[in-house]
Amino acid sequence: MKVEFIESDLLDGQSKLVATLAESVDIVYAALVFHHFTWEQQLEVARRLVGLLQSRLGSVVVGRIVAYRDRTGAPERASIQGLTPFSHDLDSWKKLWGMVHEGLEGQYGLETWEQTDRWFEERPAWRDISYYLCFSFRRVR
């Protein structure tokens, strides 16, 4: 299988990724990347990833994040280049994708589920407060 690697900054709306793949793919897989960004940046990145999808039923952004069971108890995050990344719980994650949905053509459905993982199984203290939150944001109409 031929694979092309396109190195791009997700915060760049003029990137090679956008220029090459806008509105052209069926599935975007976004694994463990949102946690680098602020709320506003995450909105921008989510909208950008949706913008890579073909405009048809079944097109989907799928991925996972590390989420807190309750973000109000989440440990302070160190800032990256002066910006503090936003840590999610399920409610804030749903809110983010609700905002992404606004203004989109068509209807999308967000599904979420918890993924069990050996890393968390071996660290019960972390498992008690956080988990791998998997998601899909799929065009349904």
The phi-psi region of residue 32 (left if phi > 0; otherwise alpha if psi is between -120 and 50; otherwise beta) is: left
Which two tokens mark 88?
């999610």
Nearest residue to ligand SAM on Cβ basis: 31
Tokens of 132: 């791998």
Q: Is 43 in the site for ligand SAM (CB under 6 A)?
A: no
Kindly state the smallest distance separating residue 9's Cβ from ligand SAM, in Å: 5
- Selected from 18, 25, 27, 36, the binder of ligand SAM by CB under 6 A is 36
* Total binding residues toward ligand SAM, as defined by CB under 6 A: 7
Length of the chain: 141
Q: Judged by CB, which is closer to ligand SAM: 11, or 19?
A: 11
One of 6, 22, 31, 57 touching ligand SAM (CB under 6 A): 31
Phi, psi values for residue 119, rounded to 5°: -55, -45
The single residue among 6, 19, 22, 32 that binds ligand SAM, judged by CB under 6 A, is 32
Q: How far apart are CA 65 and CA 33, in angstroms?
A: 7
Closest distance of CB 141 from ligand SAM, Å: 30
Sort residue 19 into left (φ over 0), alpha (ψ -120 to 50) or beta: alpha
Binding mask 2-21 for ligand SAM (x = CB under 6 A): -------xxx----------
Interface with ligand SAM, residue 83, by CB under 6 A: no
Residues forming contacts to ligand SAM in the complex (CB under 6 A) are: 9-11, 31-33, 36
